[in-house]
Amino acid sequence: MKDFIDISDFNNNIIADLVMSAHSMKQTAYRGTELAGKTVGLIFEKPSLRTRVSFEMAIHHLGGHAITLRQDEIQLGQRESIEDVANVLSGYIDMVMIRTFSHDQLKQFAQRASIPIINGLTDFSHPCQALADALTLYEHFGRFEGLKITYLGDDNNVSRSLAEICVALSMQFTISSPQQSGSPIEGVIYEPNPKKALIHADAIYTDTWVSMGATVDSAFLDQLKPYQLNEALLSSAPSTAIVMHCLPAHRGEEITDAVLSGSQSKVFDQAENRYHAQKALLAYLSQIQ
């Protein structure tokens, strides 16, 4: 498979190998030549900090060159059709990462392109973040099997990819949310009571309640308030549990300052691990191109 669109597209062994490769690269401060003489296009329909910088640095440290393209420059599907852009870029560059709103448009782009396409984030999933999350869990616990991960708040694109990677790596995944988004994922536990969901958690994960560019009514935000990751709720979990957040965080909304900056937080390890996970992914895709 030439593209990296969703975690569930790959068999469990490949996902595990990607995470372990990222771990090895981080341990050795790896610099390689897998992308020597190659160019990777980075398309952004949404603003970005971690995705842009981590991809650009990963490409640079594998010997490649990055070209960053914004939505106002390409106007994907507006100024030109998705098919035409995919065909044109396939003739110029070696790989494309797209951070966009529509998952369907990303898949349409990948179907027409002859080069590898990476999902940098869509409204449906965020697989690159999930790779970094798995790396963070492994380097803290030294294993995957049997770990209990609880996700609090809005069941969204981040929770979907996290659920998929937990299932792939034999971790137990629980979503605690006032409402379930989409079809249930096999092997995932849905527990609406946040305190019950945290009782045996090894890691507690939350994300912003309002995704970038989305609109949410105030009634739904009120439903989410009991899921705020604060000190009182954190006390329901084992003292050894770690706290995770994919960032950007809305401090005082889905998570408090005290928890985000507390001793149990691994949030900034996650942010750094985006770079290592994407370096491993780029090296892998360069070999199967």
Structure confidence at residue 60 (pLDDT) = 98
What Cα–Cα distance (Å) separates residue 61 from each residue in 32, 66, 273?
Answer: 6, 11, 15
Is residue 43 helix, strand or coil? strand
Structure confidence at residue 53 (pLDDT): 98
Tens digits of pLDDT across the chain (289 residues): 899 999 999 999 999 999 999 999 999 999 999 999 999 999 999 889 999 999 999 999 999 999 999 888 887 877 899 999 999 999 999 999 999 999 999 999 999 999 999 999 999 999 999 999 999 999 999 999 999 999 999 999 999 999 999 999 999 999 999 987 777 899 999 999 999 999 999 999 999 998 755 667 788 899 999 999 999 999 999 999 999 999 999 999 999 999 999 999 999 999 999 999 999 999 999 998 6
Query: Of 104, 109, 101, 170, which is closest to residue 134 (Cα–Cα)?
Result: 170
> Nearest-CA neighbor of 50 among 146, 110, 133, 112?
133
pLDDT of residue 289: 61
Q: Are 229 and 206 in contact (CB under 8 A)?
A: yes
